[in-house]
Homo-oligomer: A and B are copies of this chain.
Amino acid sequence: MDLKVYINDVGKRAKRAASSMAAIDSATKDRAFLAMADAVRANADAIKRENAKDLEAGRNNGLSDALIDRLTVDDSGIEKIAKAISEIAAQTDPVGEITDMVRRPSGIEVGRMRVPIGVVGIIYESRPNVTADAAALCLKAGNACILRGGREAFHSNMILAKVLRDAGTQSGLPENAIQLIEVTDRETVTLLAQAVGLVDVIIPRGGEGLIRAVVDAAKIPVIKHFDGICHTYVDAEADTDMAISICFNAKVQRPGVCNAMETLLVHRDAAQRVLPPLFAKYRKAGVELRGDQTTRAIDSDVLPATDADWKTEYLDLILSVKVVESIDDAMDHIRTYGSAHTDAIVTNNVFTARRFVREVDSSSVMVNASTRFSDGGEYGLGAEIGISTDKLHARGPMGAAELTTYKWVVYGEGTIRT
């Protein structure tokens, strides 16, 4: 198979489908989502059968238990997929909203209309539920999507895409609104990222290696979703109980996700009162602590942190801790080692809080709240395609609205320029 021809054909079909999708009304789209959710439930046995093939291949190829776990689609997984799609039906359709409409001195009226981006390419790794989540969210925003899932989930992705496509088509969506790349050669990633004029944006979701490969190859815009190396800075004027509660929650509530805290920065004047009780709580929860010299002077059971620790997204019950001299020190550390994902301050001082908010350049900046809130659902965006660590177009949690763009709409009454 000539992969270049194949990707080009997929792209052309997507472009035509995108043109039809843009004109489809909200009610039709929402009916399609409910039909898709039903179809996922109705095809549970077939989906589990195909998923079993991936699981067997994964075990034969020595995939870790954690990866096998992410790959597994059992009954509860199927229900989660179906529920997520039907929740997207209940969200507001972002397409068609007109904002900022003003009458100008020339007599024209001008405003911005929210419109679909067109063709969205999603490149992702092992979790099959992304196939359903990403497709539904792209369609909600009126786009066509091209999905390129990982090799490990090939059979699961194929059946899910087919079930969604069939249900969508029967509900009146264009046939090629959802397309899954049926070849898992690495080359298809490169070709998709170079499909100028056919694909409007690529969103890679996965490890740093995948994202770097996409960015290096890309000739079309990419919205990157890099790691979350999230910090909490406990200020000199932080409330002790609040600091302990927030820092515990940010690390322990769900350590395996990108908005969990990885590094705790504590002002020297707060370290003595905050760290000992906080460390006791962490230890009860099984958190491994790694700290700088000052931290270890306060608690000698803390392991020494190396430079690598400050740069690591543990995604695990491990925390690096550093005592800093000032908010400037804290912000320097965040600038140097952070990933511009989510960073929080705990303080009672409104001026310190305002400074942190202004000067920390991350996609989410928080005051007296747990970094775990950095999430499309928590922000009220509904389902999210991921959390962008990029600066252009969309920053932080990306919901359906972030999968749209705008055009200018101008009304005159025979108005000409003089």
Contact = CB atoms under 8 A, between A and B. Distances in A.
Q: Is the interface of A mostly helix, strand, loop or mixed?
A: mixed
Given A367-B410, A408-B365, A416 B108 contact: no
Given A219-B216, A393-B392, A407-B395, A412 B108 contact: no
Nearest to A372: B417
Interface residues on A, range: 35 or more
A357 interface: yes
A337 to B, nearest CB: 14
Interface stretch (A110-118, A282-290, A304-312): A110-118
A106 B373 contact: yes
B200 A391 contact: yes
A245 B369 contact: no
Number of copies: 2
Contacts of A372: 416-417
Interface string A248-272: 1110010000000000000000000
A380 interface: yes
Contacts of A104: 378-380
Contacts of A6: none
Interface of A: 19, 22-23, 96, 102, 104, 106, 108, 110, 113, 115, 117-118, 200-201, 215-216, 219, 221-223, 239, 241-242, 245-246, 248-250, 253, 335, 344, 357-359, 361-370, 372-374, 378-380, 390-393, 395-397, 405-418
